[in-house]
Structure 1
Amino acid sequence: MNLANQLTLARIALIPLFVVIFYLPYHWSYPAAAIIFAVAAATDWLDGYIARRYQQATEFGAFLDPVADKLMVAVALVLLVGAHDSALLSIASAVIIGREIVISALREWMAELGKRSSVAVSYIGKIKTAAQMLAIVLLLAIEPSSHPVMLVVGYFLLYVAAGLTLWSMFIYLKAAWPMMKSKRAA
């Protein structure tokens, strides 16, 4: 169990603490939850850096890292949808979570065909992740009824992330399309 994998496991272990802190009835619970999420997002970058820099990449880490990312983001979006009671936030969250399910299934299917590299993470995906993480941290940090300007900025960034999410999904689907329509894939 190397350091990169330990950081990934720590990110998963932060999820229950994140949820509990978010729901505490104190004025500091939202900013504290945002800090926990930001730390988790930072460990996502850090574990990848450590794995590459120190040759700690493992099959277990390659599996667990995207799972940890998707779990943390999905939990955060579900908490935000519940707290904000907003159709706008619900739509963007559904797009983001739905895309993650589609792409996870696509990657699994492509791996079975031995073509997983056809659906590797793209540069657009990295920009999407940055906008998504920033939006979630911002939206977590404020109570929905306060700071209307920050709320609008957070929603805007989340919609940028949702748009990039759809764009990157179409790129992945386009790359996989030749295998999808082939008789061998059926």
Structure 2
Amino acid sequence: MAKVWNVPNTLSAARIVMAVLCFAALELRLPAAALVLYVVATATDWLDGYWARRFNQVTQLGRILDPFADKLLVCGAFVYLAAEPTLAVAPWMAVVVLSRELLVTALRSFVETAGGDFSAKWIGKWKMALQCAAIIAGLYLLIETAPRPEWLGLVFRVSLWGAVLLTLYSGVVYVRAVASFALSQHAQRPDA
């Protein structure tokens, strides 16, 4: 049990709990609390990956928990932001994010079941960074009592559009990689 619930897996599980609390705070119209929870949860994403690699604590459970926590945080936040009329996040943007995440999860399952490696690519990391920047700026803009510098609205719009475009592009990158993997697997079969 100690090997399964190591530091990275505990952080990923905590991130799932923080995501649920973040969405509860948004439902209760407490955007400042949601923002704090989201920022802490996002920081633990970096920490759990670093810890797992640094101390060789990569586990099968971690390979499930970590991406699930990431997808829950990002997809859930995009749904909430799209439901907020003051932010003007088009619902199709949330659909793009959700669709890409579901597709990549299915592709990961296919590749790893076939014995392949489906490690994150740099484009996926940049996509996540832009998504988090958009969500953090959006959550801040929901705080009615917070000062709203003009540049923050611009940061929100640019990071939002950048996140959506990079989400689409990274989906294409992963589809191509999996197609290449599938072709190589097919070529290696004796009956091919």
TM-score by length of 1: 0.85
Question: Contact conserved, 2:22 with 2:38, CA < 8 A, in 1?
Answer: yes
% identical equivalent positions: 36
- Aligned residues: CA RMSD: 2.4
Distance 1:180 1:143 in 2: 47
Question: Contact conserved, 1:70 with 1:100, CA < 8 A, in 2?
Answer: yes
- 1 or 2 for the larger relative contact order (CA 8 Å, sep ≥6)? 1
Q: Which sections of structure 1, spanning at least 5 residues, go unmatched?
A: none
Partner of 1:161: 163
Shift, 1:73, TM fit: 1.1
Distance 1:16 1:76 in 2: 10
Runs of 4+ in 1 over 6 A off after TM superposition: none
Question: Contact conserved, 1:144 with 1:151, CA < 8 A, in 2?
Answer: no
Partner of 1:84: 85
Q: Which sections of structure 2, spanning at least 5 residues, go unmatched?
A: none
Q: How many residues align?
A: 179
Q: 2:19 aligns with which of 15, 22, 39?
A: 15
1:164-183, Cα deviation, whole Å (9 max, x unpaired): 11111111111122416959
AA in 2 matched with 1:130: A
TM-score by length of 2: 0.83
Distance 1:152 1:93 in 2: 19
2:105 matches 1:101: no
User: Aligned ranges for residues 1-186 of structure 1 at < 5 Å?
Assistant: 1-25=5-29, 29-84=30-85, 88-115=89-116, 117=117, 119-143=118-142, 147=148, 149=150, 150-178=152-180, 179=182, 182=186
Distance 1:88 1:144 in 2: 16
